[in-house]
Amino acid sequence: MISVIMPAYNEERALPNTLRALFTQQGDYEVVVVDGGSTDGTMNVLEEFGFIPDASHRTVHGSRFTLHSPKGRASQMNAGAKQATGEWLLFLHADTILPAGAIQRLNEMEADQSIQAGGFMHQFSGDDWRLNLISFLDNFRCIRSRIIYGDQALFVRRTLFERLGGFPNQPILEDVAFCERLIAVTTPLLLSPSVVTDARKFLKMGIWRSFFRVLLIILHVEFRLPVLPRTFFKDIR
């Protein structure tokens, strides 16, 4: 079974589309949404989609439940992983849509112990060439480094995730830090078709400014530049 773990914070705009697409997936999976203290309508959206607030009432198949943890992707995803029961832990951002057949594909890979972790190629919604360029560069980086960013739907076997200690408790780049540990013990698999991330945050910030931001993150990761300030990663909703 797959445990889809989704950190959420004030995601009432993007969450409905993500959940609608997720629940068209065939296969054996549960969904754990971990809220970081949303003040908008996120919890109402979850209630509309049939999520329950108590993991102890999960069913054998197709459970949908919510948890709460302090705000921060690392703490939220770690909290979800502690309650997950699946062989695979699939960490999915609230504004990112899985390609058709993704869950069933992971179900089929459960028996292949040579595959311990992986993620998906990435693209943004819409057809703006600048966003396509950003995705191209990000995918090229990922193919080279096998460092999978959070919006690429990282999946990892639960036993390996626990052995590596989960996501490090840091406010930014927790996905990069975890993957640096991950690639020391296995080579993550990269799958296509791509996941699709809602481009609204990049459009709101400005595409070229967002491009520069992504480029600095890549340079920071690739060349060990000084740690970027936390304000660089401020929330955009």
Residue 232: the pLDDT is: 46
Tell me, yes or no, whether 222 lies in a domain. Answer: no
Tell me, yes or no, whether 138 lies in a domain. Answer: yes
User: What mean pLDDT value characterizes the chain?
Assistant: 88
CA 115, CA 96: separation in Å to the nearest integer? 23
CA 115, CA 83: separation in Å to the nearest integer? 23
CATH number of the domain encompassing residue 121: 3.90.550.10
Tell me, yes or no, whether 98 lies in a domain. Answer: yes
Tens-digit pLDDT profile for residues 202-215? 777 777 776 777 67
Tell me, yes or no, whether 156 lies in a domain. Answer: yes
Cis preceding-peptide flag for 16 (omega within 30 of 0): no
CA 175, CA 78: separation in Å to the nearest integer? 12
Residue 212: the pLDDT is: 75
Query: Could you list the residue range(s) of the whole structural domain that residue 102 is in?
Result: 2-201
CA 155, CA 152: separation in Å to the nearest integer? 9
Tell me, yes or no, whether 30 lies in a domain. Answer: yes
Tell me, yes or no, whether 194 lies in a domain. Answer: yes
Residue 28: the pLDDT is: 94
Tens-digit pLDDT profile for residues 47-102? 999 998 866 556 555 689 899 999 999 999 999 999 999 999 999 999 999 999 99
The structure tokens listed for 33 are 């949404």
Q: Are 72 and 167 in contact (CB under 8 A)?
A: no
- The number of distinct structural domains making up the chain is 1
pTM: 0.88
Residue 63: the pLDDT is: 85
Dihedral sign from CA coordinates of 64, 70, 222, 214: positive
Residue 54: the pLDDT is: 67
Cis preceding-peptide flag for 226 (omega within 30 of 0): no
Per-residue pLDDT tens listing for the chain (237 residues): 999 999 999 999 999 999 999 999 999 999 999 999 999 999 999 999 999 886 655 655 568 989 999 999 999 999 999 999 999 999 999 999 999 999 999 999 999 999 999 999 999 998 888 889 888 988 998 899 899 998 999 999 999 999 999 999 887 788 988 999 999 999 999 999 999 999 887 777 777 776 777 677 666 666 666 555 555 455 555
